[in-house]
Amino acid sequence: MSRYHDDHLQPDGAAERLLAARGASITVRPALEGDLPALARLEALCFAEQPYPFFVLRQLFDVHGRHLLVIGTSTEVYGYVLLAAGPGRDRNWVLSIAVAAEYRGHGYGRRLMTELHLLASAEGIGDLWVTVAPENAASLTLAHSLGYVVAGRAQDYLGPGQDRLVMVCRAG
Ligand SMILES: CC(C)(COP(=O)(O)OP(=O)(O)OC[C@H]1O[C@@H](n2cnc3c(N)ncnc32)[C@H](O)[C@@H]1OP(=O)(O)O)[C@@H](O)C(=O)NCCC(=O)NCCS
């Protein structure tokens, strides 16, 4: 959750209603290799200035694939969350979360984070850390509601003028 926030598009709910009418189920699942092109497109849309390029997603998938969760239907990826965690790690970082603009505000971000927390808990992973842009209201609301607290503010964390709030959710 370390990049910036782009909320210029609001969900209109049309796609959501269509899916509901069709009875399509929306699930959270581990990402598959075949999801990577869709994730790259999602990145480009959600983080226009600083998207993870395909090759970075590819490598993150190789290293952290078990903790890369996607939400969507059998044919469409709506969003994803990525945790970099493991035994002996100094800190377990939620590196990124994104939901496509047209699907925001429907609880999908919360579902992704809730599933990630359940997975982390089941694996005995302890505290979870995130960085959030101070002006990213949606991410801050989500993080606070899940129990994250601000541990500090890192100046120029992602480069000049790119401060981030460092937040932690204590396990147990
Ligand atoms: C952050 C993000 C993933 C949230 O996804 P989402 O599916 O819209 O989130 P949800 O619908 O589950 O909402 C989660 C909470 O955030 C709140 N929220 C959503 N949009 C908000 C906004 N624009 N301002 C303030 N709060 C907001 C909701 O009220 C909700 O809280 P509630 O359940 O108590 O009502 C999504 O906004 C996003 O992809 N943003 C762009 C990418 C980004 O900034 N990622 C984080 C940095 S890596």
Half-sphere exposure of 109 (CA within 13 A, CB side): 21
- As for ligand 1, residues whose beta carbon falls within 6 Å of it are 1-3, 5-7, 46, 96-99, 104-110, 136-139, 141-142, 145
- Report how far residue 74's alpha carbon sits from residue 135's, in angstroms, rounded to the nearest whole number: 34
Quick check: helix, strand or coil at residue 67?
Answer: helix
- Which phi and psi angles does 46 have, rounded to 5°? -85, -30
- Report how far residue 115's alpha carbon sits from residue 67's, in angstroms, rounded to the nearest whole number: 10
Tell whether the model's pLDDT for residue 9 goes beyond 90.
Answer: no
Indicate the range of 21-30, 102-111, 116-125 predicted with least confidence: 21-30
% of the chain exceeding 90 in pLDDT: 80
Rounded to the nearest integer, the mean pLDDT of the chain is: 90
pTM > 0.85: yes
The domain locations on the chain are 14-169
Closest-lying ligand 1 atom to the alpha carbon of residue 95: 48
Residues 6+ apart with CB under 8 A from 127: 91, 92, 168, 169, 170, 171
What would the CATH number be for the domain defined by 14-169?
Answer: 3.40.630.30
What average pLDDT score do residues 40-47 get?
97
Q: What is the DSSP letter of 33?
A: G
Tens-place pLDDT, residues 90-107: 899 999 999 999 999 999
Closest-lying ligand 1 atom to the alpha carbon of residue 2: 48
Closest-lying ligand 1 atom to the alpha carbon of residue 110: 12
Minimal-distance CA residue to ligand 1 atom 26: 138
Terminal CA-to-CA distance of the chain, rounded, Å?
22
Distance 142 CA to ligand 1 centre (A): 6
Dihedral of the CA atoms 158, 63, 114, 122 (nearest 10)?
Answer: -130
Distance 49 CA to ligand 1 centre (A): 19
Tens-place pLDDT, residues 73-92: 999 999 999 999 977 778 99
Quick one: residue 114, left, alpha or beta (phi over 0 = left, psi -120 to 50 = alpha)?
alpha
Angstrom CA distances, 149 to 120, 125, 171, stand at 18, 18, 12
Minimal-distance CA residue to ligand 1 atom 19: 138
What's the confidence (pLDDT) of residue 16? 62
Distance 95 CA to ligand 1 centre (A): 16
What's the confidence (pLDDT) of residue 15? 61
